[in-house]
Structure formats: structure tokens, C-alpha cells
Amino acid sequence: MENHQSLSEQLTPVEIKNKEFHKTLWGYSPKDVVFYLDQIARHWELVQKEERTLLKKISDLNNEVHQWENKEEQITLTLEQAKAEAKKIRDKATEEATRFLQGVKERSEEIRRNTEEWLEKIIDEVERTQSKKKTFLNALKSTLDQHYSLLEDEASLPNFESHLAQLKQSVSHLSHMEQ
């Protein structure tokens, strides 16, 4: 209870014991009244004691409720702070993940470009090699055709040495083309 006087303290056991009654001719027996008032006073004393105990309990419980309310406020504040911190962490993680993914995309794009450039160089090199091979094979075929026609023609045998020189020159020319 608040700062009000308790009900049991509005009438004390002493006041009950000391209460005087006017005696009347046909009234109650004073001995019975005194005995009854003594009983009421003893009982009232117990009521007051119990009331004080209950008021103390109420005060203690009110204090405990107040403490729990303070704890609830602290928990609520802590929860709000935790939510705010979690949001910051989530936002930072999202930002970092976005930057990381962007870096991965840029790196993969760079790797793709480098691979395409490398493949283009390889394809060009293969095409040049095939072209050299074709040129070499054509030159070889032409040289072999020339030599075959020389061998068929018996009249050209005396000039065999000049054709041999041409052949050496053609082979030398072909070996320079391969390099």
C-alpha cells in the first residue's frame, strides 16, 4: 500500500482494552465486556502483526516488480541494440559479398578475355603452320615432279648435275621456309 495508515492501526489494541463503556442499569455485565474486549485486543494485535507482514510482502513484491520492469527495459534495450548490430553486420556482409562477387565477375571476365586471346593466337599459329605445311608439300611435290620428269627423260641425264644443283637449291629453300 502507499503511504496511507493501515486499517488495523486506526484502532489499536490498547485503545480497545482501554475503551470505557457507560454503565447502565440494565446494560451488559462489565466483566463480560472487559473479557470480550481483551479477546478482541489480542486478536486485533495478531491482525495488526499479520497486516504488517502482508504490507512488507506487498512492498517487497512491488520492489521486485520494479526490478523486473527495469530488467525488462534493459532486455528490450539490449534486444534493440542486438537487432541494430545484426542489421549492421548483415548490411556489411551483403556489401562485402557484393564486392566479392563483383571481383569474381571481373576476374572471370578477364580470364575469359585472356583465354579468347590465347585461343585466337593458337588458331592463328595453327593456320600459319597449316599454310606452311601446304606450301612445303606443294614445293616438295613440284620438286619431286621435276625430278621424276628428269629421270624419265634419258636425254637429260648428261645434265643431271645441273638438275642436282637445282634440287639442292630447292631443298635448301624449303628448309629455310620451315624455319
Whole-number Å distance between alpha carbons of 123 and 117? 10
Identify the H or E element spanning 149.
helix 30-152
Residues 76-129 pLDDT 10s = 999 999 999 999 999 999 999 999 999 999 999 999 999 999 999 999 999 999
Between the CA atoms of 57, 58, 59 and 65, what dihedral angle is there, to the nearest 10 degrees? 110
Cα(79)–Cα(82) distance, integer angstroms: 5
Count of CB atoms within 10 A of residue 11's CB? 14
- Contact indicator for 44, 53 with CB cutoff of 8 Å: no
Residues sharing a CB contact under 8 Å with residue 23, sequence separation 6 or more, in sequence order: 30
Tell me the pLDDT band of 10, cut-offs 50, 70 and 90: low
What one-letter code names the amino acid at 178? E
**147-161 pLDDT per residue, tens:** 888 777 655 555 667
Q: Which residues contact 11 (CB under 8 A, 6 or more apart)?
A: 44
- The pTM of this model reads 0.42
Sign of torsion over alpha carbons 161, 164, 170, 175: negative
